[in-house]
Amino acid sequence: MTSDTEPLTTPATSPKPVRRHPARRRLRALPPWSLLAAGTLAGALAGGTYGALAPSTYSATAYVVAVPTEKSDPQAALGFAQAYGRVATQLAVIGEARAGAGVPVRTLLENVRTATSPDAPMVAVTATAARPDLAVDMANAVTRALTRHADRAKDATHVELQQFSRAVRPTEPSSASPVLTVLVGASAGGLLGGLALLVRPRRTPVDSAPPAVVPGPATAADTQGQP
C-alpha cells in the first residue's frame, strides 16, 4: 500500500545579517585626517574664544636686598634673604601691606608671589592685577611692609632689608594674547584628535564582507533517497 502522504519538508532558512550601529558605520567611513582636522579646528576656536573673553592681567615686580650689619657676614644675609622671601606672603606682612595696597588681604594672598636667588641676597615681589597701576601699588606695598618687618628684627638677625628697585608701571599685559591662546588650543585639539584616531574603530575585511548564507536543512525525501 502506497501512502499518498507527501514527505514533510522544512523550509530553508538563512541567518539574519548583523545590523551595526549607523553612527559606528559613519565613523568608520570618515577619512583618518578628519579627526585631526576637527580636533585642531575645535581647539583653535576654543582657544580664540578664551583669549577674546578672558580679562587681561598685568604684573609688576619690586626688589629688596638683604644687607648684613657689622656683626654679620654676606653668607648670613643670603640665608635671611631666602627666609624673607617666604615670609613676604604670610599674614604678618600681607596684613600690614593691605592699607598701602588698598585691596583686601585675600587679594594680596592670591596675587602676590615672591622669588629668591641662591646666589644673591635679593627678594623679588611680583603682584598681578587687572590694572597696571594696581599691580604697582600692591608690589610696592608688600616690599615696604617686608622692609619694616625686617627692620624690627635686625637687632636679632643682624641683617636689614633695603629697597633695591621699586615696581614700575607695566606697559603690556602679562596674560596670554589671543594669538597664543589660539595656538595652544589648536595644539591641544590636534592632540585630542590624534588620540581619538588611535581608538577609532577600524574597518576589517570581516566587517566589509557580506554575511554568509547557511543552506537550510535537507527535505525528508532527499534524506531517504526517494525520487
Residue 89 lies in a domain: yes
Residue 17 lies in a domain: no
CATH, residue 114: 3.30.70.1130
**Count of the separate structural domains present in the chain:** 1
* pLDDT value of residue 115: 93
Domain hosting residue 101, numbered range: 58-165
Residue 30 lies in a domain: no
* pLDDT value of residue 44: 72
Per the confidence metrics, is the pTM higher than 0.85?
no
* pLDDT value of residue 1: 47
Which cell is 28 given? Answer: 568608520
Residue 83 lies in a domain: yes
Residue 5 lies in a domain: no
Residue 177 lies in a domain: no
Residue 35 lies in a domain: no
Residues forming a β-bridge with 112: 127
* pLDDT value of residue 113: 94
Block mean pLDDT (10 aa), the chain, length 227:
49 51 58 71 74 76 91 84 91 90 92 91 93 93 94 88 91 70 75 72 54 55 51
Residue 36 lies in a domain: no
